[in-house]
Structures are given as C-alpha cells and as structure tokens.
Chains A and B, each alone.
Chain A
Amino acid sequence: MNILMLGWEFPPFFAGGAGMVCKELTRALNDLGVNVTFVMPKGPKDVYQRVNEQTPDSFEIRIADSHRKTTFVPIQSLLGAYDSQQKYSERYDEVEGADNAEDTLYGGNLEEEMYRFANVVTSMFHDEDFDVIHAHDWVTHPAAKQLKEVTGKPLITHVHITEHDKSGGLGVDPFIESIEKEGVDASDRVITVSHRLKERLIESYDQPANKIDVVHNAPLPMDKGEGAKTFFHDLDQKIVLFAGRVTLQKGPEFFVDAAAEALQHDESLLFVVAGDGDMLGDVMEKAAEHGISKHFLFTGFYTREEANALFSMADVFVMPSVSEPFGIVPYEAQTMGTPTIVSKQSGISEVLNHTFLVDFWDTRRMAEYMLSLAHYETMNDVMATNGQQEVEERTWHGPADECKTIYEELKSQW
C-alpha cells in the first residue's frame, strides 16, 4: 500500500500540533506496512524562525531510520501552517523585501500560491506509483484535488479543524471556507478527528454522513522528565489549572466564573492560568471584578518542560473550551496523573472515560467538580490512576489501523 500524503507541517520543519499528529500517524502507518510519501510546502529557510537547524535542503530525503517507509518531500513554497490571506501577504512582502533571488517563484497572493503549489505537486507526482491521496486540512486541498483529477486516484481529506471552528462563527473567511468546501466535495472519503467535527462538515459543508469516518487522535509522545518542580513547592493549597492559549475559543472566562463559585465554598483553592493570548487582560480583569485576584496566578507563556511541571503539580486540570474540534491537552494532564474536567464541546470528550465532562457555560457544575476533586482525595487518586492508564492504552496504532482500513476499501473499489 502506497500513500501520497499532503500536509502543511511535519517535524522538524514546524512542530505544531498537526505536524506532530502527521508524524505519529505516518510512523504508525509504516509499522503496519504502509508506505507514505509525505509532501509539504517549505519556504526559504529564513522565512520561518522556528525551522530547525537540521532542516534538510534537498528536495527529497529519507527519514533517518532506514526501516521507516516514509519518503519526505518538501516543496519550495510560501504556504504556511495556520495560514490566512493576510499572513501570506506579510510573508510575501517579507521575502520580496529581503530581495530573495527566488522571489518570482511564488504566487503574488495566497490563492495564486496555492494553485502554483498544486501545479508543482501535480507535475512531480502525476506518474508516481501510489494508491491513495491523503490530504490534511485546507492549505493542500487544491493540490490534492488537482492531483486526483489528473491521476484519477482516490482522495481522502483529513480534517483537523475548519474555518468555522477557528472563527467561533464570527468572521469566517469566505475564501478559506470555499477552499475547504471544494476540498471535501472533491474527496472520496473524509476523515474527521471527532464526531463533533463530522457534524460540522455535515451541517456547514453539506457532506453526506456516510462519506465521513471519525478517527480520534491518540496522545502525542511526552517526555515526562523530572520537570521543573520548583514553582510553589511549599504550597499547602490545592491547585486548579487552566493551560492553553488564553483566547475566546479556549473559554478562560468560564474558568474564572467557575473559580468564583468554587471559592464561595472553599477559600483555600489556588487557580493557575498558564498561557498567553489576546484575552489575558480580560481574564485578569474578570478575576478582579469578582474580587478573587489573590486566588489567581498567571504564568504567561510556558515551555514544554514547564507545562509538565504545571500538570504534575496541579490537583485538577480544566479545559473549558467553547469549541474544540479535538483538544489534545487533557491527554497531557492525565499522562502526568492529574484528573481532568473537560468541556463537552470538545472532540476529546468523546474518547475519555475517566474525566468529568461539563458544558463550557455550566460554571456551577465546573465549580462542583473542582471542589469535589480538591476535597475527595480518594476520588482524585482513583481518577488520576485510571485517567493515566486510559491515556497510556491509546496509541497511534488505533488511528493508523482505521486509516489503513479506509485505504484498503478505497483501493479495492478502484
């Protein structure tokens, strides 16, 4: 089985969440005997600060382990992860401004560049030997669609998030929306990372339910390490943790409202908001309005290592997201042995058993679960142990196996 996979990030080129997912998925697919050719846009070195030193320059490389069956193909392009029309323009100007020798290579705007990328991909791969095209999210959709049209090979679109989820329903970019719609329309099968996201595609993109398979993400590997267990180590208070981007989508203000309710019952609780984001000021203000600022700590941006320390120190982790196509952070908290309270409006809520599920707006229930986990220590211990175990039992073998089944179904029908 040979898969041509199109994505827009892959470690070490850009180690965001989706890139990590692509890496784990392709590795697990390799273990199942599936060969993957992974194609992604890669800009000139200096465009991305986060590009690793080891970034290979060659157009085609083999991933280090020789037994791995992934061929990795970066294609020169200014398309970026988590892109938008504005971000593209800024990047284009930056490259132009740097008087890059290759500046004429790129499309003048996001749309042009996507189609230029599609043409390059099609010319490189139209007579390659593969069975199925598997494309992740919208940046690569035009390329995937064109390649399907030229080769007649079946196409799977793997949706991690849609424009509707990112915008919270406000200010949907009609251009991106149309790219997403055309991408899934052109697909023979669609994979979503949650039932929640599947419903979204049915409603917003008018997709038939029987075309969509849900393949839940597994946890990403974590270096549990020792962590920097230096913050508040003498503290005798129970810690309730929020960790993530402090933005509307993540629901930090509901965390503050729940804290205010919980504090009415127990004034000894300490609430930690870890992370940065455009709502950080609002959240601080809200805590002040409730008169509970002294029960709050704000850490700002945190590193991976600090995250581990935070998770292992916290007594309760809360993810009050307003809308989360998947939302992988509770896996990390549970891996570190911290019981979780998770928004029902998240994809991960579909797979966790040893957690408390709560509607993001139901701050009274959220407060109750915080209090119970802080006071009922036996329950906290049992939930921590079972929660850790359930995360350990989920590996990428499961999602890879589900993808492989879909590949085989498509291949046999072709």
Chain B
Amino acid sequence: MVSVCLYFHVHQPHRLRNYHVLDIGEDNDYFDTEENKRILQRVTEKCYLPMNNLLLDLIENHPDRFNVSFSISGTAIEQMEAHAPKALQSFQDLAATGNVEFVNETYHHSLAYLNSKDEFDKQVQKHREALNEYFNYEPTTFRNTELIFNNELAEYVENKGYTALLGEGADHLLGWRDPNHIYSTPITDDIDIFLRNYELSDDIAFRFSNESWEHHPLGADTFAEWIDAINGAGEIVNLFMDYETFGEHQWASTGIFDFFEAMVNDVLDNRDNDFLTIEQASDRYPQRGEVDAHHYTSWADARRDLGAWQGNELQRQAHDELYKLEEFVKESDDNDLIEAWRRLTTSDHVYYMYTDGRSDGDVHDHFSPYDSPYKSYMFYMNALNDVARRLGTTSQQRPLSETPSTLLNDIPEEEERMHS
C-alpha cells in the first residue's frame, strides 16, 4: 500500500510598489495594490479556479480515496476576499467536502521564527483563526514558511500541540534513507515529520514541461508506475509543491491539468493506493526513523538552506532592521502601522533581494516584480524609514538611514529588548 500525500501551497504577498526616497513622509502606502490585484486575478483564472474544479471532480469520483492538504497564507486569503471572491469561494467549496486539510502557518508568510518568537506566535494564531473563520477548519499540521525547520522548531510546535510538521527531504538530512516514511527528531516526542519527496515533486513542479528532460513528455502512466514502485519500500509519497505549478508555472497548454487527472486515476487503479491528507497519514502510519536537523533546511534553491532569504548582506541587514522596529511598532497601538509592518515581514520581500547570478538567480528573477535586487532593497528600506518616521519619535521628517531604528528616541537597552 502506498499513500500519496498531496500538499499544495497557496500564497500571494503584498508586493511593494516602487516606493521612492522622495515618497518618504509624503505617502505611507507602501504596497502596489493594483499590481497585486492583477497578479491574483490572473492566477485565479489560470490556476486556482481550474485546478480547484479538477480537485472537486476527483473528490466526487473517489470520495473515500482522494484527499489533499493545502496551506493558504493569510495574505493570500485576505487578498482573495478583496479581489477574487470566486477563488475564496472555490477553496471554501473544497473545504466543505471534508476531504481537504488546511495546514497552519504564519499568517504573513514570514520568517518571524528566526527573529521573534512573540511575533511568530501571534502570526500563527492569526492564521489559525483565519482557517477557523474561512474554512471552518481546526488545524493539527504545521508548516513553517518555505518549509524552514530544524529540531528546535519541531519541538517548539510540538509543544504548541501540533501532531505533524512538514519539511524538505534534503539529502543531508536523510542520507541513504528515502523520504517515503514518517520521521521523528532527536528532541521531540510524538510529532510526525513529513519530508518532501523532491525528486517526484519536482518532476511535476519543475521538469514537467522541460523538453530537454529525458522523461519529457511525462506520461501519467509512467509517473503512476514510479509511485507504484514505492510499494513495499515505503508507505507515503510526499508530493509537496506550489499550487501555482498548475496553470501558472506550467501553463495549461503543457497538458499539466490532463496529466494530473490521469495520474490520479492511474495511481488509484491499483486498489492498494490512495491519496491522504497529512493528518490522515499521520494517524495511519507509524514513525520509521529519526532525522537530526541541526541546521535549518528549506525547500528552496539547490542548497536547501536559508540562503534564498538570508544569503547576502542586503537580506540580513534589511531583515534585522525590520525586527529592530518591532517593539516600537507594537507599542504605537497604531493598527495601520502594525499591519504595514507585518506585511513587510513576508519572506518574499527579502527573496527579491537575492543577488547571485547563478541558475537559482533566474528562479528568483522569475518571481520578482523588480528588475534588480538593489531596487527591491531600496524600496524596502525606504518603507522602513517611513515606518520609523510614522513612529513619530525621529527628529527627521524624511529619514534615510540604513538603520532607521537608531533614529528613534528612547531606544531601549539591548537587554530589555532581548527579554521582550
């Protein structure tokens, strides 16, 4: 018996507009609402609606054997509500089938765990409430932004009551072992670690339309055979990917939708196979081994580390400055300001600042709204300078500092901040 765990990630950031130096103090709308709306509506038409309909059909045809898991960031949910209500309704229809799990994460798709546990907890709670409100769902599975995790994070979320956690099936974690089992960590008790099968996931997400790939064009029957072949050697196949794979990264014209439908039917032709949510698989299968995640891993780029978001000095510096403003922002009791600051915690902003010109850089460019990582840094830092100005404690009307927090009066002692 093999159970396929499909997990789809849905996310839309609030992308920054070209927020110029001379806008500081003049305009505190940092986000490009029109562009964000345009992108969301395009993805809704090309991906969310057709793929949700396909999943609804498959659930209807195989109500007992076809289940899927989703994570939908809070920033995606709220933008759908505002600009693409049909998309939100469509996800709610999926929720109503009972065959869909919603995985909990940070509402703002942030890297808060790395910088502020307090902010991390708040964003996770806010996302949990959103899953309750929009999908009537009580989550038990957790995923951190970009599948970033290590042993301590697993322990942290286990202590919060989660029973399953998603991670990347990175080679350096698994060594000779495969990702087709549930794992534990050395410092956790019961939480089930589900590791992405990156080979099979990326066959669909990245290689499907690559004409120079040896298996192109990939047949549904071929892929189903690869899954069947895991019978006897593994229990689960974790196919984790961005939901935009369907229709946006791989256009409809590549045949991705037909492939997916045929693949599900082919896999289910073997009566031993089924598709389970993470939660269902966690209930059914035992832990078979332990992975020791000393260092953070993620599902991004070739190195599977934090390099995509914290790899260069621009990214680290911008992120540090953001969190140095945290306490001041929260003390302001200015809800607009707090929400603007939270939107700046979204990991996409630092992702756009990636400067490596190698092959991964191409992937970053593909997803970046800016033509240069320096511009994305500049607009971001300009926004942080304006946040500092709005806090009203800087003496400069139009600050322009790479350390805007130092412009604020009454800077608390380092120790005090550490304890807060």
A376 CB contact (under 8 Å) in B355, B372, B402: B402
Contact B398 A379 (CB under 8 A): no
Q: Does A375 sit within 8 A of B, measured CB to CB?
A: yes
Partner of B374, one of A265, A266, A371, A383: A383
With an 8 A cutoff between CB atoms, is B270 at the interface? no
CB distance from B389 to the nearest CB of A (A): 13
A367-401 vs B, CB cutoff 8 Å, 1 = contact: the mask equals 11001100111110111001000100000000000
A353 within 8 A of B: yes
Shortest CB-to-CB span from B396 to chain A, Å, is 10
B313 near A381: Cβ-Cβ < 8 Å: yes
Which chain A residue lies CB-closest to B379? A372
B399 nearest CB neighbor, chain A only:
A375
Question: B312 on the interface (CB 8 Å rule)?
Answer: yes
A214 and B50 alpha carbons, distance in the complex (Å):
44
Bound CA–CA A377/B317 (angstroms):
11
Q: Report yes or no: B400 in contact with A371, Cβ–Cβ below 8 A.
A: yes
**In the assembled complex, A91 has its CB within 8 A of some CB on chain B:** no
Say yes or no: A265-B22 contact (C-beta < 8 A), given A376-B377, A379-B378, A382-B313: yes
Contact A368-B20, Cβ < 8 Å, known A266-B400, A353-B357, A382-B355: yes
The residue that B381 contacts in the complex, of A364, A376, A390, with Cβ under 8 A, is: A376
Q: Which residues does chain B contribute within 8 Å of A354, judged by CB atoms?
A: 355, 374
> Please, how many residues of chain B have a CB less than 8 angstroms from a CB on the other chain?
20
Instruction: For residue A351, give the distance in angstroms from its CB to the closest CB of chain B.
Output: 12
Is A92 located at the chain interface by the 8 A CB criterion?
Answer: no
A13 within 8 A of B: no
In the docked arrangement, what's the CA distance between A266 and B22, Å? Answer: 11
Within 8 A of A (CB), among B1-51: 20-22
Report B395 CB to chain A, min CB distance, Å. Answer: 15
Residue numbers in A under 8 Å from B21 (CB-CB): 265, 367-368, 371-372
A residues in contact with B374, CB < 8 Å: 354, 356, 379, 382-383
Q: How far is the CB of B74 from chain A (nearest CB, A)?
A: 30
Is B132 close to A, CB under 8 A? no
**B22 contacts A364, C-beta separation under 8 Å:** yes
**Most B CB atoms within 10 A — which of A353, A376, A382, A383?**
A376
Is there an interface contact between B378 and A386, defined as CB atoms closer than 8 Å? no
Per-residue contact bits, chain A 337-376, to B (CB 8 Å; 1 contact, 0 not): 0000000000000000110110000001001100110011
> Which B residues touch A261, using CB under 8 A?
22
Instruction: Check A265/B402 contact, CB under 8 A, given A368-B21, A372-B378, A378-B317.
Output: no
**Residues on the B chain within 8 Å of A390, using CB:** 357
Q: Is the CB of B312 within 8 A of A382?
A: yes
Q: Which residues of A contact B357 (CB under 8 A)?
A: 353, 390
- Chain B residue numbers with a CB within 8 Å of A371 are 21, 400
User: Cα distance A378–B318 when bound, in Å?
Assistant: 9
What is the bound-complex CA distance between A178 and B398, given in angstroms?
55
- Asked whether B314 is an interface residue with its Cβ less than 8 Å from the other chain, the reply is yes
* Chain A residues whose C-beta falls within 8 Å of the C-beta of B378 in the assembled complex: 368, 372, 376, 379
A36 to chain B, nearest CB (A): 32
User: Which residues of chain A come closer than 8 Å to B312, judged between CB atoms?
Assistant: 382
B314 with A379: CB separation less than 8 A:
yes
Q: Nearest chain-A residue to B378 (Cβ)?
A: A372
Binding site for B on A (CB under 8 A): 261, 265-266, 353-354, 356-357, 364, 367-368, 371-372, 375-379, 381-383, 386, 390
**Please, could you name 7 A-B residue pairs with CB atoms under 8 Å apart, sorted by A?**
A356-B375, A367-B21, A367-B22, A376-B378, A376-B381, A378-B313, A379-B314
Using a CB–CB cutoff of 8 Å, the interface residues on chain B facing chain A are: 20-22, 312-314, 317, 355, 357, 372, 374-375, 377-378, 381-382, 398, 400-402
